[in-house]
Amino acid sequence: MSAPGGMFALEETSLVAELFDEPAIARLRGLVRLDDHVITRANPHVPESAEDTEILITGWGAPRFDAGMLANWPNLRAVFHAAGSVKRIVSPALWERGIRVSSSASANAVPVAEYTLGMILLSAKHALDSANAYRDTQDMSLSRPRGDIGAYGITVGVIGGSRIGRRVLELLRPFDISTVLYDPSLSATDAAALGTTLVSLHDLLRASDIVSLHAPSLPETYRLLGASELAIMRDGTTLINTARGDLIDTDALVAELMAGRLKAVLDVTDPEPLPVGHPLFSAPGVTLTPHIAGSIGNELRRMGRQTVDEVERFVTRGSLDFEVHHRDLATIA
């Protein structure tokens, strides 16, 4: 039996090489007949050869696969998304046709959790503020943090028991840090299995020295942290957001930052990107990074490797370890 046909659809052709190094491409070619045509944002034309495609490998910038787009792929059996969330590219038509969907979201969760761990430890040490002060004052004695600093004995509140939230909890276990978790979809038993304690959102905000957001962007999580929630947080608490900007009321957060009551590490914002001159750029106690927590650089190859592994499972055994079902869309990021 001949190998199934395969095709790429993503932002631009160069992203293929960033995701899949030469050994990964060689493995793919041993599993599927890769079409030389790459569907990109600049060249969205779907060639006639798509009729033979059974395996579609997508990434950031892929088109949305609704019924009209899927008409180009009459023999498509599976979509392998070499990126995180599939929400932007999927439609009910995929599952109605029995096309299976797999995502590399779990691979993308790794660098986000690593970024979060780094920021938790740096925030607990007040290292980010101290570095800024040292640069500005050029005076070591004036720049050294004072007071009750450090990670020993602090409490970190994790909002969202997602892949990333669970990974963060796992990474925090070796440290002398207590954790609490808010996730209305989990039970106390579930939380205990993750090595943490399930609490209400308000109890988490009251108890935590550092709060880290890992919830999906859903109608029920929009502005999850508004003015009243931020007001519950203790003075000096650091809020870390690597999830979605619209989980936080930006204006309310700016007010707390300007008052010097809270600190924040924001890799995502609302709006995103921030317009020039936005108050967050000049607010005290905030560290802004340009949406870098997810996979970039050599981290992309982790997603590529997972995608190839998943294609191999599907082609050789018909199984998927990272399958996304239609019912999952209501709760995933």
Q: Which backbone phi and psi does 213 adopt, to 5 degrees?
A: -90, 125
d(CA 133, CA 178): 29
Computed from CA positions of residues 241, 243, 245, 249, in that sequence, does the dihedral angle turn out positive or negative?
negative
Q: Which residues pair with 6 in a beta bridge?
A: 34, 55
Query: Which H or E element spans position 147?
Result: none
Contact (Cβ atoms closer than 8 angstroms) between residue 162 and residue 182: no
Catalytically active residues, by annotation: 244, 272, 291
Task: Please tell me whether the peptide bond between 273 and the residue prior to it is cis, using omega within 30 degrees of 0.
Answer: yes
Contact (Cβ atoms closer than 8 angstroms) between residue 89 and residue 81: yes
* First vs last C-alpha separation in the chain: 38
User: Number of H helices and number of E strands within the chain?
Assistant: 13, 13
